[in-house]
Structure 1
Amino acid sequence: MQYIANLSTIMHKAAEEKHDSPSLNRIRGIKTRGEPHRMSENGNAALYFVDRHIAEGRAGKTAFREADGERRSLTYGELADQTSRFAGALARHGVRREERIAMIVRDQLEFPVVFWGSIKAGAIPVPLNTLLSASVYEEILRDSRASILVVSEQLWDTVKPAIQGNRFLRAVVVIGAAPEGCESFEDFVAGAEPMDPVDAHDDEMAFWLYSSGSTGTPKGVRHVHSSLKATADTFGSQVLGIREEDVMFSVAKMFFAYGLGNAMSFPMSVGATTVIFGGRPTPDAVFDIMSRERPTLFCGVPTLYAALVAEQARSGMPDHCVRLCTSAGEALPREIGERFEKLWGAEIVDGVGSTEMLHIFLSNRPGDCVYGTSGVAVPGYEVRLVDEHDEDVGDGGIGELLVRGPSSADGYWNRRHKSRSTFEGHWTRTGDKYERTAQGRYVYCGRTDDMFKVSGIWVSPFEVEQALIDHPAVLEAAVVPWMDDKQLEKPKAYVVLQSGKSVDEAGDLKDFVKEKIGMWKYPRWVEFVDELPKTATGKIQRFKLRQGA
């Protein structure tokens, strides 16, 4: 670690000696305050999402407030100033345009400061999942070649082994008490000259996200400046209908696409307020935040909605003023959606999105929610279903979902073959299997690698799972193909029971499924487990179950 500190000091002094040189700043693409714009229109996303609010009179409006810890808050004016100073700190440390700034940061006020400050400087923020292991962090940091790492103090013990021997990192910045060889966040930005957003093109690289890894190793997904506003103008405005007076609370964390839109780009597009929570979103914690922080919009995942319904049955309804909810990450089971809306009096707008498309592109609408479906295409997006020969699939058939729209990623980092097989011209392959109903709605069937045939007929794991969840004793279920003694694939179910329910109360789940969806679809084996393997986004990792994990 000491070599990082020494190199950081050298870079820091060299940058300070040259920082005031206008010619060097122009070479770097850095624009200090007072220097005229060199382009007729600056497409830097930070101008729209951060600095615009000052000119529109929202400097004193709360942009973010923490629901845990010291419960700090940050106004739009403070955010504009702090992001400009963080950008200046990056310039002072010799960071050049398009260098990656890795973020292993909890949901806290420093997250938007680092993210938007990096974008202002023309650097590339790379938010990473805060629940990964050291070995995965090591792989991602090497893959991204990040030159600066910003990490929350609470995560340092996990991150420390991941940076040993990393030859790309020039500085490690710790939010909180800085260990030896690292720099504290406060010291990193102290005395930095505020810097205006660099001139950037709409199609210029702005940030990366690493895929959740539901099927293996995470991949670096590259997004451009215009994608953020594209999702806000489509789902945020035309489906969610977010307003300036709204208070947003997303249990989905900001390090991945769904949470980034919920907690940052959507509320910041209209000058709304976001409640951020760095802790684990247990039902008790969520109930407390609902009562105390009074959010009007709530963004969750199916697993949590199921837990909230179960908790409400035990402890009663929390005092809340939520007017609308969203769900993504996995398809929301019909039973959970209907029960939640009946209890809470708020619809769950269930939809599907991806890291590659940045947010939701297929969704139900407020006032038009059909639980058990993913709705229809979000305005601004087109979807189609294709078979294995890329021929269009008609109503009632099952095909892979393709999507095109303004927020599609620019490709994967260092994954040329995967980029070519996923991003085909204007269309992006989602890897999801869907069925389109006669009414034009799309019903989730599973991942392309999760689908399997029984007696020559396609079986959707999600359909079987949804049938199992309809049983009053079942909380969650996951279905995967399993070989019988004749080496033929049949459904196997992993089942998590409701709290307080027993295996005897579950009864014969095989017969229960037969009666609901058909004789050939029932699980030949049912295994009861305490929990299902999931990514941090709430997606069930069925590949682990297929491997017998």
Structure 2
Amino acid sequence: MHTLSTADHGCTPPRIVIPDPYNAADDLLGRNLVAGRGSKVAYIDDAGSYTYDQLAARASRCGNALLGTLGLARGDRVLMCVLDCIDFPAMFLGAIKAGVVPIAVNTLLTERDYEYMLSDSGARVAVVSQALLANFAALPGRVPTLERLVVAGGDDDDGLEALLAAQSEQLDAAPTRATDPCFWLYSSGSTGAPKGTVHIHSNLIHTAELYGQEVLGIREQDVVFSAAKLFFAYGLGNGLTFPLSVGATAILMAERPTPDAVFKRLREHQPDIFYGVPTLYAGMLAHTGCPTAGEMKRLRACTSAGEALPEGVGRRWKERIGVDILDGIGSTEMLHIFLSNRAGDVQYGTSGTPVPGYRVRLIDEGGDEITAAEEPGELQISGPSSAVQYWNQPEKSRATFLEGWTRSGDKYYRNRDGYYVYSGRSDDMLKVSGIYVSPIEVESALIAHEAVLEAAVVGIEDEERLIKPKAFVVLKPGYGPGEAMRQELQAHVKGMLAPYKYPRWIEFVEDLPKTATGKIQRFKLRGI
């Protein structure tokens, strides 16, 4: 079962025709086997390489294990807390092919988080990497619906390897429909309990064809490496959906994406496409081991998402590596990037323009659409990859998923060139002297100073109980904190922005609180 797509270039967005029935995993695996790519390498992880034939066989074994030995039925859920290795795509695709719904979760959370997700989802089976087992070991007795914990990466007789050894490599795909629930991703939960975000079968291929192929230009001969992990909506497209949609080869890395770990993979595997996040790009540029353009001979495209890319970081990367970073914005709810810069059409400091097949609009506080340039509003998106609901949260579902539109919770404005500029989360915006101030704008100005590695800005009340910007700054090695540096940075911001936007207070810190996906957690700084 494969998608048929016709791209009408120009003003008309690509049109993707999806057959019925349709199974997303059967499509992504099957299209490569039909195209004769069975012996081509699909994945390279820390332990070895795996062809498309081997990936398809392992996925079928996973699906058979879920349906047979583990006793799951179509529509049941399996929670996956799996590091980036071959077990992730094999289990994720195997579950989908079998009609079981995988729930990929953040590997950096706590036992309490996982207990909540297991209870909320009703998952009867959890597949967990051995290195992460400590946070799950006590849960089978505490979560009534959890029947089995399967350990991946170990040698136990009841672990994943032993389980798969007894399974057939043949599995008929469940006759699912394009609109059936396919997989879940839990939102970060930065404003409350995590939300189980339900995606359908057609969503994966829509992101692959509309962004991966139309914007990024991924192709069969590419080697790709995503520092963003597979459990993250951004990383799932980068390292699974996009390469499988064209028969490319993806590099997987189980460890955390430190600059040293990323440099090792970049030099060893020489990818054509690299996917990162702003914090990582900044850290890599500040590191003495950062490669040069001469070392990265094959690299032709880099992307960034998860948080707005500071203009200075993008420009320094282009000068150092010789390749632009295509900054964009996506979300768990929309699955991947829907606003993006493009190769040959990059305006640093912006998120670019809508990806083909997507529409965006800006809404003011009164609920009216904003048509004027430079006027901030809440960003809403209409596109074919939107989630259908939050599990068990009807009120939040109704508030987020409108009739054909999805609320992002992000503030944006459209500049006079038609590019969209991020202004922060709706609840992060500051009102200073009665005028909205974007923390992102102040942070970008600070990061433009040669001494600043990272910055985060929040609103703090002054002695008159008026909101003013406060900055938390991480300095680069070789630069020291102190009053002189504080005054220098304040003067620097005043020279770049309107005077009322400068940070009244600057606190120098060793690091900033971040989510596992690299987003700065400004709400944690408000109480400091």
Q: Indicate whether 1:302 and 2:278 are aligned.
A: yes
2:39–2:52 Cα contact (<8 Å) kept: yes
**Equivalent residue of 1:467, what SS?**
helix
1:246–1:273 Cα contact (<8 Å) kept: yes
Shift of 1:56: 1.1
Which aligned segments of 4 or more residues in structure 1 are displaced greater than 4 angstroms? Answer: 312-318
- Cα distance in 2 for partners of 1:486, 1:55 equals 70
* Aligned with residue 390 of structure 2, among 388, 409, 412: 412
Shift of 1:316: 6.2
- Cα distance in 2 for partners of 1:229, 1:288 equals 31
Shift of 1:315: 7.8
Shift of 1:161: 3.3
Partner of 2:12: none
2:263–2:289 Cα contact (<8 Å) kept: no
Shift of 1:341: 0.6
For residues 90-145 of structure 1, the C-alpha deviation after alignment (integer angstroms, 9 at most, x for no partner) is 11121011111100100001000100000011010001100001111111111111
Letter of the 2:183 partner, please give it: F
Cα distance, 1:257–1:524 mapped onto 2, change above 3 Å: same
Shift of 1:545: 1.1
- Cα distance in 2 for partners of 1:40, 1:343 equals 46
1:387–1:399 Cα contact (<8 Å) kept: yes
- Cα distance in 2 for partners of 1:368, 1:48 equals 32
**Equivalent residue of 1:233, what SS?**
helix
Partner of 2:25: 46
- Cα distance in 2 for partners of 1:352, 1:211 equals 15
Shift of 1:53: 1.1
- Cα distance in 2 for partners of 1:127, 1:208 equals 7
**Equivalent residue of 1:434, what SS?**
strand
Where do 1:39-438 residues align within 5 Å? 41-66=20-45, 68=46, 70=47, 72-92=48-68, 93-177=70-154, 183-193=158-168, 194-312=170-288, 319-320=295-296, 321-393=298-370, 394-438=372-416
Q: How many residues align?
A: 505
Q: Indicate whether 1:540 and 2:520 are aligned.
A: yes
**Equivalent residue of 2:406, what SS?**
strand
Q: Which ranges of structure 1 fall in alignment gaps of 5 or more residues?
A: 1-38
1:84–1:197 Cα contact (<8 Å) kept: no
- Cα distance in 2 for partners of 1:388, 1:229 equals 35
2:205–2:241 Cα contact (<8 Å) kept: yes
- Cα distance in 2 for partners of 1:220, 1:533 equals 24
For residues 383-432 of structure 1, the C-alpha deviation after alignment (integer angstroms, 9 at most, x for no partner) is 01110111111211010001000000011001111111111010000000
Partner of 1:12: none
- Cα distance in 2 for partners of 1:355, 1:278 equals 22
For residues 179-213 of structure 1, the C-alpha deviation after alignment (integer angstroms, 9 at most, x for no partner) is 7xx93001222222331110010000000000123
Partner of 2:496: 516
For residues 223-279 of structure 1, the C-alpha deviation after alignment (integer angstroms, 9 at most, x for no partner) is 000000000111101110000000010000000100000000001000000000011
Partner of 1:493: 471
Q: Which structure shows the higher helix fraction?
A: 1
- Cα distance in 1 for partners of 2:85, 2:144 equals 29
* Aligned with residue 526 of structure 1, among 497, 502, 506: 506
| TM, length-normalised to structure 1 | 0.90
1:474–1:506 Cα contact (<8 Å) kept: no
- Cα distance in 2 for partners of 1:488, 1:349 equals 38
Shift of 1:216: 3.5
Partner of 1:6: none
**Equivalent residue of 1:440, what SS?**
coil
2:293–2:322 Cα contact (<8 Å) kept: no
- Cα distance in 1 for partners of 2:290, 2:246 equals 37
Shift of 1:288: 1.5
Q: Which moved more, 1:421-430 or 1:305-314?
A: 305-314
Partner of 1:18: none
Partner of 2:11: none
2:140–2:147 Cα contact (<8 Å) kept: no
- Cα distance in 1 for partners of 2:77, 2:158 equals 18
Percent of aligned pairs with the same residue?
51
Letter of the 1:533 partner, please give it: P
Letter of the 2:508 partner, please give it: F
Cα distance, 1:105–1:213 mapped onto 2, change above 3 Å: same
| TM, length-normalised to structure 2 | 0.93
Where do 1:460-479 residues align within 5 Å? 460-479=438-457
Q: Which ranges of structure 2 fall in alignment gaps of 5 or more residues?
A: 1-17
For residues 25-79 of structure 1, the C-alpha deviation after alignment (integer angstroms, 9 at most, x for no partner) is xxxxxxxxxxxxxx9843100121112211110000111001x3x3x11111111
